[in-house]
Structure 1
Amino acid sequence: MSGVSREVLKWLQSLDLTWQIKNPKWDLSNGYLIAEIFSWYFPQDIQLHSFYNRQSLELKKRNWYILKNFILRNDIDLKMEDVDGTIHCREGAAAQLIESLYEILTNRRVKKIPPEIEVDYTDHAYQLQLPMHARSTASKAVKNNLRLTEVIADQNIITCAQKPGWFSDRSVFKSQRIINEHIEHRREERLQDPQRFGIKATLGDRCVRRPEPPQQIQSEPSHISNTTDIPAELAGDCNSERPLTREPSVHFKEVEVKQMDKSAFYQLPIQSY
């Protein structure tokens, strides 16, 4: 089973599951084996007769609806991005989910090398390997990073009519988030290669930047304390080097304006027509 460490494989074999996990991407998508793993540690909360061992989208939604409520009710520290990726068969999501379950249920740590690029279950790492002219547009990015099962399961991902009920902390919908990330990546590409996009430097970018003036170190007080002992030439220089103060030199007098008493207007009798 690719993508899963050896210690996690030994743990799965010790659970004596219904069938052996050969490809986590497809074997864990319906949630039945995840429920079976939970039933070993929470037999009173998870009962297998409530789950369906089928691959249809409707039955997968029922299984994961029970599992998501169980995860949120017991405050199990699982990332919903991993759960979503497992449901919709995203590459690497099921392996990451099973490793997280191993660490939570056994209180052990998986020894592995951290990835160079953060895994976000998008094709951003693949797009970086392509030349500039072959990278996807905004519409192509939505098509590549949004599965058909996600659209069928939740129409609000495209229409943005309302927030998903089980994921209340999702502030931006998935389609809009994909477009926002695509715009941000395009902005980074323009900064890295401005000549290709025909970006000309502005006047502020071309102007010469002068270095900041060095800070003056205050000298120690000398033994000369009386200003009368200083010659007139040195006294003039000392007066010219005094720092300017921010105290206002012009004072303004506040003008008092008498307001008209408007209470008399409200006491006039109302005339009828």
Structure 2
Amino acid sequence: MSYEHAPIKTGLPREVVKWLHGLDLSFYPKNVRRDFSNGYLMAEIFSHYYPQDFSAHSYDRGTALSAKQRNWSQIERSLQKQKQNLHLIKEVIDGTIHCKPGAAELLVQEVYTVLTNRSIRNVQGPESDFTDREYQEFLPTVARSTASKAIKNNLTMTEIMAEPDISTNQRKAEVILHRHLEHQAAERVLYPGRFKVKPNLGQLAAKNLVSSSRGDECSDGPSSADTASKSCSSSTWRRAAVSYKEIKVHQPIRRSLVKY
């Protein structure tokens, strides 16, 4: 396949794309996240450098979770036989298996740097959380995921199948929900007008307190100045004295029912 037929956006740097084309793989990964998840293409890449330890015929092309886990386990065992003692980060492999955002891209770039002894600029670190956070930030506010959608996007079905423990998956969902709510609360503070946030009673009281204190400062100024009278007119109106009238109520005299 010629380089001109490569997809416009692959999520990989240009030099990595050219390197993949030079390996003459069985098919070019048009969708990096999907095509690298089962490990077959990664085994093909390693077979070009270590043909004795990696045989493409011993790997499954299936997309089932069991096939993915077998392929990646076999890749890890084959890498341990190398003199360089190559090893891949487990969190990145798990993210690639479950098609987590950015995991497969990071894995391919790491393999590229190891096999070619070349460096890549602006490579994300392994501490990435492999979520759709960056994608959500590019979207307008009305198009961003809700809390339930955030859990669905960042907790895949294969991830639940690989770890059937209910408590573990519940903790993962709680972490995703907590991160989503934190991000939403931060945006509400930064952009209150966008979310039409109304001030609460405490904020209104503080605002009125500031206004009244400014009115007190104005009342101390010279009363003959026109500017002072204009600036203080609103605060004086708020602080206008309220007169109270005392009302006397005459209670009727009750006759005693007790005779002396």
> Aligning the two structures, in what range does the TM-score lie when normalised by the shorter sequence?
0.5 to 0.7
Q: Greater helix share, 1 or 2?
A: 2
| Counterpart amino acid of residue 99 in structure 1 | Q
3-state DSSP of counterpart to 1:16: coil
3-state DSSP of counterpart to 1:160: helix
Where does residue 66 of structure 1 map in the other structure?
74
Matched, 1:103 2:113: yes
* Alignment deviations for residues 64-117 of structure 1 (CA, whole Å, 9 cap, x no partner): 233356678946364724x33432334554333222211122121235698xxx
When the two chains are superposed, the root-mean-square deviation of aligned CA atoms in Å is 3.9
* Paired residue total: 192
Distance 1:179 1:49, change over 3 A: same
2:188 corresponds, among 190, 194, 201, to: 190
Write the distance in 2 (CA, Å) between the matches of 1:39 and 1:47: 6
Where does residue 20 of structure 1 map in the other structure?
28
| Counterpart amino acid of residue 97 in structure 1 | L
| Counterpart amino acid of residue 17 in structure 1 | L
Unaligned runs of 5+ in 1: 163-171, 209-273
> Could you tell me the TM-score, scaled by structure 2's length?
0.57
Q: CA deviation at 1:43?
A: 4.8
1:152 corresponds, among 161, 167, 174, to: 161
Write the distance in 1 (CA, Å) between the matches of 2:167 and 2:61: 32
Write the distance in 2 (CA, Å) between the matches of 1:67 and 1:113: 23
Q: CA deviation at 1:35?
A: 1.6
Q: CA deviation at 1:26?
A: 2.9
Q: CA deviation at 1:50?
A: 4.0
Unaligned runs of 5+ in 2: 1-5, 211-260
Residues 79 and 87 in structure 2, CA contact (< 8 A), matched pair in contact too: yes
Where does residue 54 of structure 1 map in the other structure?
62
| Counterpart amino acid of residue 19 in structure 1 | F
Which has the bigger relative contact order, CA under 8 A and spacing at least 6?
A: 1
* Alignment deviations for residues 104-153 of structure 1 (CA, whole Å, 9 cap, x no partner): 22121235698xxx884315542563336x64432232123222222223
Share of identical aligned residues, percent? 39
